[in-house]
Amino acid sequence: MNVNRWVTGWLAVAVLVGGQWLAVPAHGQGSESAGMITELKVDRGRVEVKAAGAQEWRKAGPLLALRAGDTIRVSDEAVAVILLSGGRGSVRVTKATSPFVVAAPQPGESKAQKALTLLEASLGFLSTTAKEEPRATLSTRGGPKPPVILTPRNGPVLPDSLTFEWLGSRFSRYTVRIVGPKGVVIEKKDLTGARFEYPAGAPPLSPGVRYTIQVLSGGHPAQEAWFEVVDPARAQAIRQDVKELEQAFGRTVSPNTLVALRAGFLARNGLVHDARLILVTALAKDPDEPTLHLLLGKLYETAGLRDQAAEAFDEARFLMTGPTKQ
């Protein structure tokens, strides 16, 4: 099962209506979805799914839609986390609790409508997956390459997340400039590493104004990307929505599933920079979760970073096979 099929098989058809996910399968027959797989660990085992009424078991993938009556089978040390519809939280399936049969939500078993709307926005971002994801290509040896700005990259950012990152060499030194309509706002020279946090004592950046980050290294031309700081009122509304999403589902879903919901909601609102920061932080704690790599690849794809998207998708594929063939 390729990455594109994982996403389109679940999220491209996931729409919340009255507290239920409505899944429209590829063959065109409507059927309610009772949940989806949001986390997988298959490096030491297998996770398989058998559709309700079917005889054949198939390999499970991240972001796979599940209907009432579907059965999940887990072997050895593999783990699957399923986000259940109707506001029922998530369930962790291991060999000890396998097989697990997905139940349909009971009438009235749902969260507040606001929470459902927020969840719909979170999932909706992932419905625009490309037909085919790129695969990473082997790089050729050569001289120092120009830095590649990773984030922020041509989009809005929340005012409390002014962290700039680029892809470069640990042996290189960089000059970073933030340029506004009236010229250079701040410039830092001789930086090492590939990360710069906007200093607290630097001139404040005005909301709604387009700024440019420039990263220079060696004899390469300046690499540029623009960003705009979200105005305080909208930023506060976004933070409140994320807080309500966390309050509605935070105690009933696993941490990585909540990360996926947060990231999807922020990206749906155009905040790809902030969504990426959440995913990268989560991956630092759990680098073996394929769903997080899959979502990160989607964000890179949205930002036009094709090579980085390909690497993230390839990592998701690798984690779905594990270090040993199953």
Residues 152 and 210 in one domain: yes
Residues 86 and 42 in one domain: yes
Q: How far is CA 113 from CA 73, 129, 163, in A?
A: 33, 27, 34
Residues 100 and 9 in one domain: yes
Residues 283 and 243 in one domain: yes
Q: What is the mean pLDDT of residues 218-227?
A: 90
Q: Give the structural domain span for 190.
A: 148-229
CA distance linking residue 152 with residue 200, whole number of Å: 18
Residue 297 lies in a domain: yes
Residue 139 lies in a domain: no
Q: And the tokens for 115?
A: 């929470």
- Last residue of some domain: 229, 246, 265? 229
Domains: count for the chain? 3
Query: What is the predicted pLDDT for the residue at 228?
Result: 97
Residues 220 and 157 in one domain: yes
Q: What is the mean pLDDT of residues 251-273?
A: 87
Do residues 217 and 242 make contact, with C-beta atoms less than 8 angstroms apart?
no
Residue 141 lies in a domain: no
Residues 152 and 212 in one domain: yes
Residues 317 and 268 in one domain: yes
Residues 284 and 310 in one domain: yes
Residues 268 and 309 in one domain: yes
Do residues 297 and 47 make contact, with C-beta atoms less than 8 angstroms apart?
no
The CATH number of the domain where 215 resides is what? 2.60.40
Residues 219 and 253 in one domain: no
* pTM of the predicted model as reported, rounded to 2 decimal places: 0.79
Do residues 107 and 287 make contact, with C-beta atoms less than 8 angstroms apart?
no
What are the tens digits of pLDDT across the range 18-72?
A: 233 333 333 333 456 788 888 999 888 999 999 998 999 999 888 788 889 999 9
Q: What percent of the chain has pLDDT over 70?
A: 76
CA distance linking residue 16 with residue 22, whole number of Å: 7
